[in-house]
Amino acid sequence: MSGRMVLFAKAPRAGRVKTRIAARLGDDFAVALARACLLDSWAPLGDLGDALLAWDGDAADVPFSAPIIPQGEGDLGARLERVLRHALSTAPWAIAIGSDSPGLPRHLLISAIDALSTHEAVIGPADDGGFYLLGLREVPARAFDQVPWSTDRACAATATALRARGLRVAELPRWFDVDVVEDLDRLRDAIRARRVAAPNVARVLGVQP
């Protein structure tokens, strides 16, 4: 039985996505970037496991065909627990990523899958203190209740909470999210150097790999 690759994403609508980038570069650019990030984040998942889209928004806004589960209410911890528990009801492991790291290197995804053969959990720390990936073989009840989301302590607190519940947690190499305008230069450089494969994002940014 294969595992589940789960993409957490919001509908690419003005005022809901890339708001810090929109404040400087405008809503049209931010929405186009968010849509491109969504497409490039989804593209590789089907080769790695049964892909599932955890969606926040109207299903009519999904720009591709995909099995969808609504994220539901609550903070990120409540939504992660709900969606990952659903995914694990039909799979031995589930890995969640967001659409803020388009073109996430395949070797990191493969490393996460490999880690779940020897650990109950795997986490990918992001440079801003959050995480770009979370994989689980089981979901402890209320494991994320005390995590300070949207802070530079979110990743460390998540790993600590899982270990406190008896799970062995593997950590991946650090990577970066695209949240602010300054992140775009790093993303452009990664695309040009072919460290990131994100053709839709490349078009929005005007970059030739």
Q: What is the third-level CATH fold of 4-205? A: Spore Coat Polysaccharide Biosynthesis Protein SpsA; Chain A (3.90.550)
CA dist 12 → 55, 108, 150 (Å): 11, 26, 20
pTM assigned to the model: 0.95
The pLDDT, as a whole number, for residue 1 is 62
Domain boundaries along the sequence of the chain: 4-205
Q: Could you list the mean pLDDT of each consecutive 10-residue stretch along the chain, which spans 209 residues?
A: 92 95 97 97 93 96 95 95 96 97 95 97 97 97 93 97 97 96 96 95 92
